[in-house]
């Protein structure tokens, strides 16, 4: 057995450049020290990347397998249903022709020569991956798939939903700009705008989410942004996206819609007049409460260059691993949202009949103040049900503490049903006056309905409601 055969069979290394027989041992020692010319192999001695390398350079590529996957710009997307887009877009197969999407866990990417590297750093990436702070193939795959689902030209993924809001605001707006924001937004969104953006000279006005006239009255010559979350968190208030879009555009402002509660499976804000969509991919896009992620979507002309510049320099980046998890989560988004919605509707109907429940807030109920609007904008009522119990905080905490099945946590969008008391958790850090204006009372409970049997969820709640 010669040295090369030994290395191939027992060590798992293959010598991939030619040397004379008498020079082999010396060459191996040199290459082991310099980690060049030797590639880690699979048990059969095949280089893992499908090609032979010397240093940074490919010496002899294997023919790559043509990809039959659909890109967002592909004409083949026309007419495809959301469930098909969710599993067939954002796929870029390597020379190994893998069926499942690959995960590229790398901080940086190599170049063939110094000029190529210089061009990428100084003239723009031009589609080349440079550094995973702002370019990574797995993240790109997630961006392309989500863009296809939302009907957007461009998507930029971020580390979380809050970093998506941070990134788009820093990228597009400046000191002296005025923004109009719904009162019914997530507590951390309120904190971000009032505690940080205002400190840097951005003027903020909060208005009721369901009163377009109030948005019109709030407009100033310096107004540049409308920001709304619909349905709202936690009251599930539904804003008229089309009406707000008209008001914003007349004022020279952009309308940003947080689509976290619905996801593109139930609502596509761009089609209704929005300019930009925000996502917390942590919620329904992942769908199983595993990772954090966010995204900004819109036209390429509006968001691509400023977002890329901000992401490259500030780095609120989605990791490749998190992108892969969310990419796979998107594959089942449609059927999950149908199941979440069906269970939520059944639970809301049951709660509405319960004598210890003062009111139920669910867009799918005919009793919801914006039910008709919700049914025009959304496919279903969604998966989140909020309700107010009689007896204030004491009664609400008794319901929560009596559960044995539901998860007491502030997250939502999971296959596991979650329950929380917004006034002391998600909205607990904002001033009492702001909570009161938003309608977040001490008796309010928010449930993000998972995929358990609805009868089991009802039985778990009944224990605390009967006390």
Residue 192 has pLDDT above 80, yes or no: yes
Does 213 score more than 50 pLDDT? yes
Tokens encoding 436: 């009161």
Q: Which residue has the higher pLDDT, 1 or 284?
A: 284
Q: How confident is the model at residue 439 (pLDDT cuts 50, 70, 90)?
A: confident
Q: What is the mean pLDDT of the chain?
A: 87
Percent with pLDDT over 70 in the chain: 83
Q: State which H helix or E strand residue 257 sits in.
A: strand 254-258
R_g (Cα) of the chain, nearest Å? 26
Q: Between the CA atoms of 198, 231, 72 and 296, what dihedral angle is there, to the nearest 10 degrees?
A: 10
DSSP string of 70-106, one letter each residue = BPTT-GGGTT--HHHHHHHBS----TT--SSPP----
**pLDDT value at residue 343:** 98
Give the tokens for residue 27: 């060459």
User: Over 80: is that where the pLDDT of 219 sits?
Assistant: yes
Whether 276 and 303 have beta carbons less than 8 Å apart is answered as yes
Q: Which range among 68-72, 355-359, 382-386 shows the weakest confidence by mean pLDDT?
A: 68-72
Lowest mean pLDDT among 124-138, 207-221, 406-420: 124-138
Q: What's the pLDDT at 22?
A: 44
| Residue of 77 and 106 predicted with greater confidence | 106
The answer to whether the beta carbons of residues 138 and 104 sit under 8 Å apart is: yes
pLDDT in tens, 38-51: 333 333 333 333 33
pLDDT of residue 47: 35
* 77-85 contacts at long range (C-beta below 8 A, 24 or more positions apart): 77/148, 82/149, 82/264, 82/265, 82/333, 82/334, 83/334, 83/335, 85/145, 85/148, 85/149
- For residues 442 and 425, is the Cβ–Cβ distance under 8 A? no
Query: What tens digit of pLDDT does each residue of 101-110 get?
Result: 999 999 999 9
Does residue 18 carry a pLDDT above 70? Answer: no
Rounded mean pLDDT, 216-245: 97
**How confident is the model over 387-407, as a mean pLDDT?**
97
**Who contacts 1 (Cβ-Cβ below 8 Å, separation ≥6)?**
9
Range with lowest mean pLDDT among 218-232, 251-265, 305-319, 434-448: 434-448
Could you report the per-residue pLDDT of 441-467, keeping only the tens digit for each? 999 999 999 999 999 999 999 999 996
pLDDT, one tens digit per residue, over 90-141 is 999 999 999 999 999 999 999 999 999 999 888 876 678 999 999 999 999 9
Q: Is the pLDDT of residue 247 over 60?
A: yes
Alpha carbon of residue 204 to chain centroid = 25
C-alpha–C-alpha distance, residues 270 and 242, integer Å? 10
Q: What is the pLDDT of residues 275-305, one digit of tens each?
A: 999 999 999 999 999 999 999 999 999 999 9
| Average pLDDT over every residue of 331-353 | 98
């Amino acid at each position: 057995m010669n040295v090369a055969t030994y290395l191939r069979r027992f060590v798992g290394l293959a010598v991939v450049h030619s040397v004379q027989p008498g020079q082999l041992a010396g060459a191996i020692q040199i290459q082991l020290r310099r980690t060049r010319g030797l590639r880690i192999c699979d048990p059969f001695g095949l280089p893992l990347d499908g090609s032979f390398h010397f240093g940074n350079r490919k010496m002899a590529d294997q023919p790559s397998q043509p990809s039959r996957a659909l890109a967002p710009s592909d004409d083949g997307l026309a007419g495809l249903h959301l469930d098909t887009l969710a599993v067939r877009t954002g796929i870029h197969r390597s020379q190994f022709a893998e069926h499942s999407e690959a995960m590229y866990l790398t901080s940086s990417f190599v170049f063939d020569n110094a000029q190529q590297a210089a061009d990428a750093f100084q003239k723009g990436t031009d589609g080349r991956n440079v550094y995973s702070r702002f370019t990574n193939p797995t993240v790109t795959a997630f961006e392309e798939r989500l863009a296809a689902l939302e009907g957007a030209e461009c998507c930029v993924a971020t580390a979380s939903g809050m970093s998506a809001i941070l990134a788009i605001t820093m990228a597009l707006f400046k000191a002296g700009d005025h923004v109009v924001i719904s009162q019914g937004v997530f507590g951390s969104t309120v904190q971000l705008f009032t505690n940080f953006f205002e400190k840097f000279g951005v003027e903020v006005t909060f208005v009721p989410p369901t009163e377009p006239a109030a948005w019109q009255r709030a407009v100033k010559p310096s107004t540049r942004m409308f920001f709304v979350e619909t349905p709202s968190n936690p009251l599930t208030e539904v804003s008229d996206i089309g009406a707000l879009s008209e008001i914003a555009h007349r004022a020279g402002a952009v309308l940003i819609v947080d689509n976290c509660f619905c996801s593109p499976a139930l609502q596509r804000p761009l089609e209704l007049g929005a300019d930009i969509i925000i996502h917390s991919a942590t919620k329904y896009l992942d769908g199983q409460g595993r990772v954090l992620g966010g995204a900004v979507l819109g036209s390429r002309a509006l968001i691509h260059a400023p977002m890329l510049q901000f992401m490259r320099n500030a780095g609120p980046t989605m990791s490749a691993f998190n992108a892969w998890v969310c990419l796979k989560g998107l594959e089942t988004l449609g059927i999950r949202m149908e199941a979440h919605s069906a269970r939520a509707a059944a639970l809301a109907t049951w709660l509405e009949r319960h004598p210890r429940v003062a009111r139920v807030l669910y867009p799918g109920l005919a009793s919801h103040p914006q039910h008709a609007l919700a049914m025009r904008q959304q496919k279903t009522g969604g998966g989140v049900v909020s309700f107010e119990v009689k007896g204030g905080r004491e009664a609400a905490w008794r319901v929560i503490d009596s559960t044995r099945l539901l998860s007491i946590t502030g997250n939502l969008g999971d296959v596991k049903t979650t329950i929380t008391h917004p006034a002391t958790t998600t909205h607990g850090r904002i001033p009492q006056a702001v909570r009161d204006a938003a309608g977040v009372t001490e008796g309010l409970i928010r449930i993000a309905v998972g995929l358990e049997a609805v009868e089991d969820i009802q039985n778990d709640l009944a224990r605390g409601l009967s006390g």
